[in-house]
């Protein structure tokens, strides 16, 4: 049974169409990264999953239950880190957690939870004095209360420094190992790369890709960029490089000595071999894998010249 099923989900806010016929599934026990640029519809989807807002049309099941008919059951088994800080200034971290533990009927130890998010030092300080990152850690600790079956994290790295973001990923991994399904949204591809089994990319309220990180990279096509520094180059050699089966694009960057960049899908040795056959001396070369950020851009803007499929 999938942990989340979204089927033909449409949501309009008046004239504004935020989601259009959105369908996807999140498998039980997976870490699913929900990616999209600002305004793509990520928070809208999350709010619909939790029945904070109602869909215009479509069906949603969470943990096998209808999201509208069973929202209480779903929320009691789900840990949520909402977008934006929602702490109470006058309450301490301990009080926040006691409240969350009480409302879920759980028996967690507030101190142990705060240790996990590295906030134990501030346990008896009022949240009004917290930095953004500290507030975010507290909210994460609250989401962990009661060992939820499903964690829904909306932009969990907001306000966290690189260390905090790494710790957050660590917690996602631990929770997943414990058996929880994790669904988290982000507009930063890099953050999902390390922890996600699969990634869904949302653009203007529609899912433009759902795949593993590796699969996304492959289907976006822009495999490897090869940069070769040569002693000289001519048009015939450039043409020959462009005609190679594994080369999707090749450019002369100019310079002295000249530098050629080529997008290579398969073996890079064909490019080097072709140049050497023409007695062109290779002075240096380097390769760079398409970063996930490149892939994300290609799906959400098409700017890298790679069309989303």
Q: Compare residues 82 and 146 and give the one whose CB is closer to ligand ATP.
A: 82
Q: Compare residues 53 and 69 and give the one whose CB is closer to ligand ATP.
A: 53
Interface with ligand ATP includes 289 (CB under 6 A)?
no
Single out the residue of 33, 36, 133, 223 in contact with ligand ATP (rule: CB under 6 A): 36
Single out the residue of 3, 40, 97, 138 in contact with ligand ATP (rule: CB under 6 A): 40
Q: Compare residues 154 and 294 and give the one whose CB is closer to ligand ATP.
A: 154
User: Which pairing describes strands 247-254 and 198-203: parallel, antiparallel, or unpaired?
Assistant: unpaired
Single out the residue of 13, 232, 242, 288 in contact with ligand ATP (rule: CB under 6 A): 13
String of contacts with ligand ATP for each residue 186-205, x by CB under 6 A: -x------------------
* CA–CA distance, 232 with 238 (Å, rounded to integer): 11
Cross-strand bridge partners of residue 185: 34, 154
Q: Compare residues 43 and 176 and give the one whose CB is closer to ligand ATP.
A: 43
* CA–CA distance, 256 with 236 (Å, rounded to integer): 19
Task: Choose the binding region for ligand ATP from 39-47, 86-94, 161-169, 289-297 (rule: CB under 6 A).
Answer: 39-47
- Block residue for tokens 């964690």: 151
Single out the residue of 3, 22, 44, 230 in contact with ligand ATP (rule: CB under 6 A): 44
* CA–CA distance, 43 with 305 (Å, rounded to integer): 29
Single out the residue of 7, 8, 16, 131 in contact with ligand ATP (rule: CB under 6 A): 16
Interface with ligand ATP includes 38 (CB under 6 A)?
yes
Q: Compare residues 201 and 250 and give the one whose CB is closer to ligand ATP.
A: 201
Residues 6 or more apart whose Cβ sits within 8 Å of residue 51: 67, 68, 71, 74, 75
CB of 299 to ligand ATP, least distance (A): 14
Interface with ligand ATP includes 145 (CB under 6 A)?
no
* CA–CA distance, 89 with 131 (Å, rounded to integer): 12
Concatenating the DSSP letter of every residue in 166-223 gives: HHHHHHHHHHHHHT-EEEEEES-HHHHHTT-SEEEEEETTEEEEEE-HHHHHHHH---
Q: Compare residues 35 and 151 and give the one whose CB is closer to ligand ATP.
A: 35
CB of 67 to ligand ATP, least distance (A): 16
Phi, psi angles (nearest 5°) of residue 136:
-65, -40
Vertex 209 angle, CA 203 and 211, to 5°? 140
Q: Compare residues 83 and 211 and give the one whose CB is closer to ligand ATP.
A: 83
CB of 46 to ligand ATP, least distance (A): 8
Could you give the C-alpha distances from 179 to 30, 74, 148, 191, in angstroms and in order?
9, 16, 9, 21
User: Which pairing describes strands 4-13 and 57-62: parallel, antiparallel, or unpaired?
Assistant: antiparallel
Q: Kind and range of the H or E element at 104?
A: helix 93-104
Q: Which residues between 57 and 96 bind ligand ATP (CB under 6 A)?
A: 83
Size of the site for ligand ATP (CB under 6 A): 13
Q: Compare residues 43 and 298 and give the one whose CB is closer to ligand ATP.
A: 43
Can you state the angle between helices 292-300 and 213-220, rounded to 10 degrees? 60
Binding site for ligand ATP (CB under 6 A): 13, 16, 18, 36, 38-44, 83, 187
């Amino acid at each position: 049974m999938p942990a989340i099923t979204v089927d033909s989900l449409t949501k309009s806010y008046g004239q504004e169409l935020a989601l259009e016929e959105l369908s996807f599934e999140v498998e039980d026990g997976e870490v699913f990264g929900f990616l999209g640029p600002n305004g793509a519809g990520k928070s809208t989807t999350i709010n619909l999953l939790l029945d904070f807002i109602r869909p215009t049309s479509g069906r949603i099941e969470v943990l096998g239950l209808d999201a509208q008919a069973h929202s209480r059951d779903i929320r009691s088994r789900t840990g949520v880190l909402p977008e934006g800080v929602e702490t109470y200034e006058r309450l301490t971290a301990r009080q926040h957690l006691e409240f969350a533990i009480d409302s879920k009927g759980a028996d967690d130890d507030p101190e142990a939870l705060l240790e996990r998010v590295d906030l134990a030092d501030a346990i008896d300080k009022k949240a009004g004095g917290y930095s953004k990152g500290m507030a975010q850690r507290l909210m994460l600790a609250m989401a962990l209360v009661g060992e939820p079956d499903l964690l829904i994290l909306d932009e969990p790295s907001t306000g966290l420094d690189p260390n905090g973001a790494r710790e957050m990923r660590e917690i996602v991994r631990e929770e997943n190992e414990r058996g929880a399904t994790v669904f988290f949204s982000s507009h930063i591809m890099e953050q999902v790369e390390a922890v996600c089994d699969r990634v869904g990319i949302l653009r203007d309220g529609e899912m433009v890709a759902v795949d593993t990180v590796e699969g996304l990279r492959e289907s976006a096509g822009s495999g490897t960029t090869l940069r070769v520094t040569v002693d000289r180059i001519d048009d015939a050699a450039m043409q020959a490089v462009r005609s190679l089966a594994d080369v999707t694009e090749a450019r002369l960057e100019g310079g002295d000595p000249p530098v050629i960049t080529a997008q290579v899908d398969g073996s890079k040795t064909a490019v080097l071999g072709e140049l050497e056959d023409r007695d062109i001396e290779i002075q240096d070369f380097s390769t760079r894998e398409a970063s996930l950020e490149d892939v994300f851009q290609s799906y959400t803007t098409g700017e890298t010249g790679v069309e989303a499929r």
